[in-house]
Amino acid sequence: MRVPFVPTDGCCAVCGRPCEGFAGTGGRAVCEECSGRSSAPHFDCAASAVRYEGTIREIIQGYKFNAHLWMRDDFADWLEAAVRTRFAVARVDVVLPMPVSLFHRLDRGYSQCSYIAKELARRIGRIYRPGVVVRCGHPRRQAGLDELSRRENVKGTFAVRRPELVRGRTVLVVDDVMTTGSTLSECARTLKEAGAWRVWCATIARSVRDG
């Protein structure tokens, strides 16, 4: 199987989206969306390991929804490599998993994202803190919504339970798939409101809308 890794060069310095014409910029160019005052995400930087497409997409969906765990160590390998390439990991103070709603936890009985986040934290030697940021609302499913609707849909759906653990810190939030980044951005906004200094995001996969 060919793994569609996200290239390390030719990507937006903020959201990590592969951009045409950015090759050779050494990750210093910023895409149009991230340059815009109203469209820029609230996180400072995001990294993804692979493109969410083809066989990889099916495998990740199997992992997320059906507890197919056989590739999870590969996911952790890929994520670790992406994070080490993109971030100065020694500056990360705390690693947080993207929280799932209680409904989803009860529904599926497990949380794959927290496994990956915990494993990543162990590998890079940083503190893992589940439960610091939690879901407090039930947004509609994001799939099928355009970007603006996604942003509205997720507004106010996170809360920080223990702000003292993020205040003045560099926080790394780990999720499975990033599409427009609106959910991660809202999570970052909530963390910054609670006093986090920097919010970095890492996801296993990246869904690239335009190809």
Task: Between 36 and 54, name the residue whose CB sits nearer to Zn ion.
Answer: 36
C-beta closer to Zn ion: residue 41 or 97: 41
Where does this chain touch Zn ion (CB under 5 A) — which range of 30-38, 95-103, 120-128, 138-146?
30-38
Is 64 in contact with 190 (CB distance < 8 Å)?
Answer: no
Which CB sits closer to Zn ion, 31 or 117? Answer: 31
Among 6, 29, 34, 205, binds Zn ion (CB under 5 A): 34
As a whole number of angstroms, the distance between CA 90 and CA 70 comes to 30
> Contacting Zn ion (CB under 5 A), which of 15, 29, 113, 160?
15
Q: What are phi and psi of 170, to 5 degrees?
A: -95, 120
Binding status of residue 12 toward Zn ion by CB under 5 A: yes
Looking at the Cβ atoms of 18 and 97, the one nearer to Zn ion is: 18
Q: Which CB atom, from 33 or from 77, has the smaller least distance to Zn ion? A: 33
- CA proximity to 44, closest of 172, 206, 204, 176: 172
Question: Would you tell me the crossing angle of helices 147-154 and 182-193 to the nearest 10 degrees?
Answer: 40
In angstroms, what is the minimal distance from the CB of 192 to Zn ion? Answer: 18
Closest contact distance (angstroms) between CB of 98 and Zn ion is: 19
- Min dist. Cβ of residue 18 to Zn ion (A): 10
Query: Residues 202, 114, 53, 75: what is their CA dihedral angle, to the nearest 10 degrees?
Result: 80
Least CB distance to Zn ion at residue 52 (A):
17
Assess 194 for contact with Zn ion (CB under 5 A).
no
Strands 45-51 and 94-97, sheet pairing: unpaired
Choices 12-20, 43-51, 61-69, 103-111; region in contact with Zn ion by CB under 5 A: 12-20
Among 6, 11, 29, 31, binds Zn ion (CB under 5 A): 31
Q: Counting contacts by CB under 5 A, is residue 14 touching Zn ion?
A: yes
Minimum distance, C-beta of residue 33 to Zn ion, in the bound complex (Å): 5
Distance CA 38, CA 26 (A): 26
Chain residues that interact with Zn ion, rule: CB under 5 A? 12, 14-15, 31, 34
